[in-house]
A and B are shown apart, each in its own frame.
Chain A
């Protein structure tokens, strides 16, 4: 659709409009954190621990302090009595846990390879790096605790001395509130497993991996005594970060402003926590009364953040002789790392992940137990498919494995056990509001054409080629309702937007979230353009600045298509109501919003279409000429709307993958990837397609290539892209996205939030396809990453078995 066209303006909803952001991003005109220049800025470099676990005997920074251009050096001792320790209530979820006490810089002991030990601040980055290198730290090495199962044993030493154990968090789900209820439930589950016709029990291991945003973290803080602190932070949650800075640094709230730069090179969850680095940089700026900037290197980024998954799921499922899934039982052990990351602490991810275990299937009973272990590794940080990437891999594999035992098609078993109608509450008490899982599934099967594939597979096998098909599906959060977010993170979930009309007929929208490339500017503009029947080019979105935007919980959990655009739509409706009230008065008619149509840049009275005024003129009249107003009306056209769904909302997706496996080398090639999506009503299909493509690629890259590796001394070996392998464009298939939508009944536009959880069904579909190809060898994959080396080992073992 041409951007000058305003005919059929409702059509902006669903239009494949080129993203407003892309011109500047692709032309190199993006303005990222490192592009923001303040006069007199100082540059910060962290001295980080070389050991996973060691006592700090001495820090000698005398040589560094003497270097020309060095302005300040901080160590733990310098801040321990000046800055409050963490945790503080502002960063605590509503979950009982063994929260470790820590400061931004290590005190006495370092607890992971890469932990900040000292901060060097200098006139430029070169001097700061030189000085950081000359800070001498004398360590006494301590035995690192690296195995999560070992960490949970009673006789294991503790990562955090004085915490009384390494189990930072534990929880059981499904069983009710009291011990008696839980025991009764678990006995019932046990009985189901004893009598079930079919059961599967496997230990599924998913490696430490996550998401690596193109732009690493960074922070630029400025202080002056009249305005206080202005902090530019690469963050998905500027309003949350602001509260943390206020509370921990004891700064009066009106004196703290946090700004997430307009352009951020990806977040994916990694920029959702409140990080210790932000705190010490803000503290230094306040003390030095100079702007201080820290830009994370790729090396630091891979050392410290983007590490997630890392779970052992001992998963059991039971089914009756008719293929009805009966019960699910899981014992999840998560390697949390050190647990010193505000808001999430590492364990919030596996907590939510286990809530999401049941997926789209009906289970009579469940017994889910989670134990999260503290170890001497970097703390887990949120990564897209928050907490449930490993769990969904395990469940989707287990479904195929039980289908293999029954000798039925895994896709048939899935369909038979899909939740047939919504709303529905899962055995882990997760509420699924709306949608049609069967419609999505049937659309996928239409795309997959299974019977043709099976014929092709049989022919190929005769020719010595091994083709396989795999399926998986995923129920994902569509935004995070306050009902979920308050208990989980002590934070609200509502969406908020301010819509301000301009006397010249243009529109400014303000949002408190902080996008990082998802296309909010385009999506919001399409919504506003559709509401007022104007052009998206006339709408501008401003985000991320706590000084100008309404409170927003942040760009997390697929909140844009669910909560944010709903708030935008509601704000527009409120303004349209005011416009039509005043226009009716001016036209001397008795009418209200329902009697008018906004069309082609005009507001038209439906009862007599000669009674009309241009949108621009009526807006200017209300803002600039507020005389002869209706009784009780005042001028001005700006409003803030808050949107809260009564219940949590979901979206749903399903994947089909076709592979060919080379049984000689174990290499496999993805021949086809086709999906079926319920994303509700689509505002911009190109944006949604892009979200799906990105999510699937990230899922594949996690599943096949990426792995953070620590050696037996806790040294992190994968802090560069030579060793931490990301998929390239050449490594991923063409992805066919298809839609089988059900409009969400709980949002004003019928939209759903999408994209956050989307990678989670990817590893299951991929591994199921590989196992399907290798059916003659009876191979069942139970671990990731799924690399040719692993497939080859399974094949070798299978051949050796058959030789004996």
Chain B
């Protein structure tokens, strides 16, 4: 497990310097390194063979969580451990903390970043599902200094595929402030504690003044195609007041209509069962959070 020859390693202090470094190489010959929890493995197994590694870890402008009147912005180089511990990410944003607290192990959470995870977009991963579930906006910038914002629905194109160009840096994942009475939650099941998701469920709901769901979003992780928005699930939860039977019925429908797969971790039928058994707790939690309960 030794990487192919890497000719250059740079550790820029700014986004501008990082873009300048990547511009010296043909597209794809230089890669950005975020927390290194996936890319390092891919280089050691020679699945990735970059000529140059541009390490983003020293760029402070890419780090941190900002929450203000305009919304929430999480810098791409913000580590899981910071997201897990953040007091800002409540209510509609709480699913981010749910996911970050259970990624990998302590060492992974201390190094891995939200930006690294969404740009890698591994099929069995949690962060893309939550960013998709919460409809984040992904702000990207490239050599000319211009930036663009891509909606999560358009960003995740399939396992290991995103709308990011090779010469673009992800700056942040952003949200406008959610409407009041919003709640979200995420949970997953893997064979061992904090393993990659065999199935994960992210649910976000917004409630009307009577506590009924007026908008919802259901996203699954652990499917063959990676993070998947289940649009039918959104409408199944509309009008629901958080009643356990109604949630259960909605999740059974979602599970029934989802194209699950069998692999060495679980068979397709069991994945459907997991959607129900994980999803009902996740959904109930999202409702509780939307109501402002603990």
Residues of B contacting A707 in the complex (Cβ-Cβ under 8 angstroms): 264
Of A107-115, A456-464, A716-724, the one contacting chain B is A716-724
Assembly CA distance A629 to B1 (angstroms): 63
Given A709-B264, A725-B192; A129-B273 close (CB under 8 Å)? no
Q: List 27 A-B contacts (CB under 8 A).
A: A125-B2, A126-B2, A129-B2, A129-B4, A297-B1, A298-B1, A299-B45, A665-B277, A666-B270, A705-B191, A709-B264, A718-B264, A722-B196, A723-B264, A725-B195, A726-B192, A727-B192, A728-B193, A730-B192, A730-B193, A731-B192, A788-B270, A789-B267, A789-B270, A792-B270, A793-B267, A793-B270
User: Does A78 reach chain B (CB closer than 8 Å)?
Assistant: no
A617-673 with Cβ < 8 A to chain B: 662, 664-667
User: Does A130 reach chain B (CB closer than 8 Å)?
Assistant: yes
Q: Which of A125, A667, A792 has the most CB of B within 10 A?
A: A792
User: Does B46 reach chain A (CB closer than 8 Å)?
Assistant: yes
Contact among B5, B105, B273 with A792 in the assembled complex (CB-CB below 8 Å): B273
**CB of B182 to closest CB in A, whole Å:** 28
User: Does B249 reach chain A (CB closer than 8 Å)?
Assistant: no
**CB of B125 to closest CB in A, whole Å:** 11
By the criterion CB–CB under 8 Å, are B2 and A664 in contact?
no
Residues of A contacting B277 in the complex (Cβ-Cβ under 8 angstroms): 662, 664-665
**CB of B1 to closest CB in A, whole Å:** 5
Assembly CA distance A298 to B189 (angstroms): 26
- How many residue pairs, one in A and one in B, have C-beta atoms under 8 Å apart? 57
By the criterion CB–CB under 8 Å, are B192 and A705 in contact?
yes
User: Does A133 reach chain B (CB closer than 8 Å)?
Assistant: yes
By the criterion CB–CB under 8 Å, are A130 and B5 in contact?
yes
| Shortest Cβ distance from A730 into B: residue | B193
User: Does B22 reach chain A (CB closer than 8 Å)?
Assistant: no
| Shortest Cβ distance from A662 into B: residue | B277
Assembly CA distance A709 to B191 (angstroms): 15
User: Does B17 reach chain A (CB closer than 8 Å)?
Assistant: no
User: Does A595 reach chain B (CB closer than 8 Å)?
Assistant: no
**Contacts A125-B2, A792-B273 supplied; 13 other A-B pairs, CB < 8 Å:** A126-B5, A130-B5, A299-B1, A299-B45, A664-B273, A665-B273, A667-B189, A709-B264, A718-B264, A722-B196, A725-B192, A730-B194, A731-B193
By the criterion CB–CB under 8 Å, are B264 and A717 in contact?
yes
Contact among B5, B45, B191, B194 with A787 in the assembled complex (CB-CB below 8 Å): B191
User: Does B40 reach chain A (CB closer than 8 Å)?
Assistant: no
Residues of B contacting A662 in the complex (Cβ-Cβ under 8 angstroms): 277
Residues of B contacting A129 in the complex (Cβ-Cβ under 8 angstroms): 2, 4
Per-residue contact bits, chain A 249-260, to B (CB 8 Å; 1 contact, 0 not): 000000000000
Assembly CA distance A125 to B2 (angstroms): 7
| Shortest Cβ distance from A789 into B: residue | B270
Assembly CA distance A299 to B1 (angstroms): 8
| Shortest Cβ distance from B270 into A: residue | A789
A710-762 with Cβ < 8 A to chain B: 717-718, 722-723, 725-728, 730-731
By the criterion CB–CB under 8 Å, are B2 and A728 in contact?
no
Residues of A contacting B267 in the complex (Cβ-Cβ under 8 angstroms): 789, 793
- Interface size in chain B (residues, C-beta < 8 A): 22
Residues of B contacting A664 in the complex (Cβ-Cβ under 8 angstroms): 273, 277
Assembly CA distance A723 to B194 (angstroms): 14
Residues of B contacting A788 in the complex (Cβ-Cβ under 8 angstroms): 270
**CB of A683 to closest CB in B, whole Å:** 34
Residues of B bordering A, CB below 8 Å:
1-2, 4-5, 45-46, 105, 189, 191-196, 264, 266-267, 269-270, 273-274, 277
Residues of B contacting A723 in the complex (Cβ-Cβ under 8 angstroms): 264
Residues of B contacting A731 in the complex (Cβ-Cβ under 8 angstroms): 192-193
**CB of B2 to closest CB in A, whole Å:** 4
Residues of B contacting A133 in the complex (Cβ-Cβ under 8 angstroms): 4, 46
**CB of B248 to closest CB in A, whole Å:** 10
By the criterion CB–CB under 8 Å, are B273 and A728 in contact?
no
Assembly CA distance A796 to B273 (angstroms): 11
By the criterion CB–CB under 8 Å, are A130 and B4 in contact?
yes
| Shortest Cβ distance from A722 into B: residue | B196
Contact among A125, A298, A665, A722 with B274 in the assembled complex (CB-CB below 8 Å): A665
Residues of A contacting B269 in the complex (Cβ-Cβ under 8 angstroms): 793, 796
Going nearest first, the 8 A-B pairs with the smallest beta carbon separation are A730-B193, A665-B277, A129-B2, A789-B270, A297-B1, A725-B191, A789-B266, A731-B192
| Shortest Cβ distance from B266 into A: residue | A789
Assembly CA distance A796 to B1 (angstroms): 43
Residues of B contacting A789 in the complex (Cβ-Cβ under 8 angstroms): 266-267, 270
| Shortest Cβ distance from B105 into A: residue | A728
Residues of A contacting B273 in the complex (Cβ-Cβ under 8 angstroms): 664-666, 792
**CB of A698 to closest CB in B, whole Å:** 14
**CB of A758 to closest CB in B, whole Å:** 22
Assembly CA distance A667 to B105 (angstroms): 21
Residues of B contacting A787 in the complex (Cβ-Cβ under 8 angstroms): 191
Assembly CA distance A730 to B193 (angstroms): 6
Assembly CA distance A635 to B157 (angstroms): 82
Q: Which of B4, B45, B267, B273 has the most CB of A within 10 A?
A: B273
Residues of A contacting B264 in the complex (Cβ-Cβ under 8 angstroms): 707, 709, 717-718, 723
Assembly CA distance A126 to B44 (angstroms): 11
Assembly CA distance A150 to B195 (angstroms): 35
Assembly CA distance A331 to B105 (angstroms): 43
Q: Which of B105, B189, B264 has the most CB of A within 10 A?
A: B264
Assembly CA distance A709 to B1 (angstroms): 21
Residues of B contacting A298 in the complex (Cβ-Cβ under 8 angstroms): 1
Residues of B contacting A792 in the complex (Cβ-Cβ under 8 angstroms): 270, 273
| Shortest Cβ distance from A723 into B: residue | B264
| Shortest Cβ distance from A297 into B: residue | B1
Assembly CA distance A228 to B267 (angstroms): 56
Q: Which of B45, B270, B274 has the most CB of A within 10 A?
A: B270
Assembly CA distance A667 to B191 (angstroms): 10
Assembly CA distance A718 to B263 (angstroms): 12
Residues of A contacting B45 in the complex (Cβ-Cβ under 8 angstroms): 299
Assembly CA distance A793 to B269 (angstroms): 9
Residues of B contacting A718 in the complex (Cβ-Cβ under 8 angstroms): 264
**CB of A439 to closest CB in B, whole Å:** 37
Residues of B contacting A665 in the complex (Cβ-Cβ under 8 angstroms): 189, 273-274, 277
Assembly CA distance A709 to B262 (angstroms): 14
Assembly CA distance A788 to B278 (angstroms): 13
Residues of B contacting A705 in the complex (Cβ-Cβ under 8 angstroms): 191-192
Residues of A contacting B5 in the complex (Cβ-Cβ under 8 angstroms): 126, 130
Contact among B46, B194, B266 with A728 in the assembled complex (CB-CB below 8 Å): B194
Assembly CA distance A792 to B4 (angstroms): 45
Assembly CA distance A298 to B1 (angstroms): 8
Assembly CA distance A125 to B46 (angstroms): 14
| Shortest Cβ distance from A729 into B: residue | B193
**CB of B10 to closest CB in A, whole Å:** 20
Assembly CA distance A793 to B270 (angstroms): 8
Assembly CA distance A708 to B277 (angstroms): 28
Residues of B contacting A793 in the complex (Cβ-Cβ under 8 angstroms): 267, 269-270
**CB of B255 to closest CB in A, whole Å:** 12
Assembly CA distance A728 to B105 (angstroms): 10
Q: Which of A125, A133, A788 has the most CB of B within 10 A?
A: A788
Assembly CA distance A299 to B46 (angstroms): 13
| Shortest Cβ distance from B278 into A: residue | A665
**CB of A55 to closest CB in B, whole Å:** 27
Residues of B contacting A796 in the complex (Cβ-Cβ under 8 angstroms): 269
Residues of A contacting B46 in the complex (Cβ-Cβ under 8 angstroms): 133
A775-804 with Cβ < 8 A to chain B: 787-789, 792-793, 796
**CB of A69 to closest CB in B, whole Å:** 12
Assembly CA distance A637 to B97 (angstroms): 66
A660-715 with Cβ < 8 A to chain B: 662, 664-667, 704-705, 707, 709
Assembly CA distance A718 to B105 (angstroms): 20
Assembly CA distance A717 to B274 (angstroms): 24
**CB of A122 to closest CB in B, whole Å:** 11
Assembly CA distance A406 to B184 (angstroms): 52
Assembly CA distance A731 to B105 (angstroms): 13
**CB of A35 to closest CB in B, whole Å:** 18
A237-285 with Cβ < 8 A to chain B: none
